[in-house]
Amino acid sequence: MSLVVVRTVSEVREHLAPIRHDRRRISLVPTMGALHAGHASLIAEARADSHFVAVSVFVNPLQFGPGEDYLRYPRPLDSDLDVCRRVGADLVFAPDVKDVYVSDQRTFVEVTRLGDHLCGPFRPGHFRGVATVVAKLFNIVQPDRAYFGEKDYQQLCIIRRMVQDLNLGIEIVPVPIYRDVDGLALSSRNAYLNEAERTAAPVLFRALMLARKTIEEGERKSSVVREAAGSILAAQPLARVEYLQIVDPIEVQPVDEIAAEVRIAGAVWIGKTRLIDNVAAAPG
């Protein structure tokens, strides 16, 4: 089947109606475009599990705050479509803003508590924008499954909780972080890095890996683990740390004493580019 590209909500529903009528399993991979190998891994995972794979390509203005990079966020739709064809997507929904937000938005979805730490304090309103647009995409596509990368781990937890709390009946499938050979988590924003910044960028992953090793070797105090990881970041002059925290893997709340599996998550600025990453860790 050749790739179908649609622009409007009505086109999505018209195209998916016979798929749903035949009780074929529909999967959705929500993206903001600028697709890379990490996105391709999400689509490939969906392809392996599903009868029909839909990919949304939409740069959502609701999740960008003042001074963030909404206007300069990359939008290479032609190359995105090439990726979708190569990996086996069936449909791409690439709407204009006016097709998603047909009037001034007065209804929002907000998951409380899970956005209180990590990225939440630094990006006010971001997760409300994410939850709102994902809820809209779920209502438009009505998938059986939706695939999200673990790089945006806090987002994954929030979407999973939204689906649970609103009884949406959609299976949320997490997909492991896709990394470059030096450990850097793939991100559309990596394209902003110049050569020196790209060389410096894997410092966050190295810090997270040291934190994981420290936990696995027996350290239980989060403060000690953070200090060890922080020393790696402090040694890189191009890195400005936004946060480095250890949280539980469900509610995303800070953990002081590590007694079970945790997520170690960090955000750093390399030049003018904000990078996030996380790893799981468990006491040895």
Q: Is the pLDDT of residue 154 over 80?
A: yes
Q: Are 183 and 206 in contact (CB under 8 A)?
A: yes
Look up 117 and say whether it is catalytic.
no
Q: Are 238 and 197 in contact (CB under 8 A)?
A: yes
Domain locations along the chain: 4-175, 188-279
Question: How far, rounded to the nearest angstrom, does the alpha carbon of residue 56 sit from its chain's CA centroid?
Answer: 13
* pLDDT > 70 fraction of the chain, expressed in percent and rounded: 100
As a whole number, the mean pLDDT across the chain is 97
CATH for 188-279 is 3.30.1300.10
- Residue 93's contacts (CB-CB under 8 Å, 6 or more residues apart) are 6, 7, 12, 54, 55, 56, 57, 58, 137, 140, 141
Structure tokens at 281: 């860790």
Select which of 15, 21, 36, 39 is catalytic. Answer: 39
Q: What angle do CA 105, 111, 114 make, to 5 degrees?
A: 140
CA atoms within 13 A on the CB side of 189: 19
At residue 1, the pLDDT reads 66
pLDDT tens for 90-132 read: 999 999 999 999 989 999 999 999 999 999 999 999 999 999 9
Determine the average pLDDT of the residues in 250-278: 98
* pLDDT > 90 fraction of the chain, expressed in percent and rounded: 98
Determine the average pLDDT of the residues in 189-209: 98
What is d(CA 151, CA 38) in angstroms, rounded to the nearest whole number? 9
What is d(CA 192, CA 185) in angstroms, rounded to the nearest whole number? 14
Question: How far, rounded to the nearest angstrom, does the alpha carbon of residue 203 sit from its chain's CA centroid?
Answer: 20
Torsion from C-alpha of 12, 38, 156, 257, nearest 10 degrees: 180
Helices (H), the chain: 9-21, 37-49, 77-87, 97-100, 126-141, 153-165, 195-200, 203-216, 222-234
Per-residue pLDDT band at 284 (split at 50, 70, 90)? confident
At residue 148, the pLDDT reads 98
Q: Are 245 and 266 in contact (CB under 8 A)?
A: yes
Count CB atoms within 10 A of the CB of residue 225: 24
Q: Do 4-175 and 188-279 fold alike per CATH?
A: no
pLDDT tens for 21-49 read: 999 999 999 999 999 999 999 999 999 99
What is d(CA 229, CA 209) in angstroms, rounded to the nearest whole number? 8
The more confident residue out of 102 and 193 is 193
- Superfamily assignment of 4-175 in CATH? HUPs (3.40.50.620)
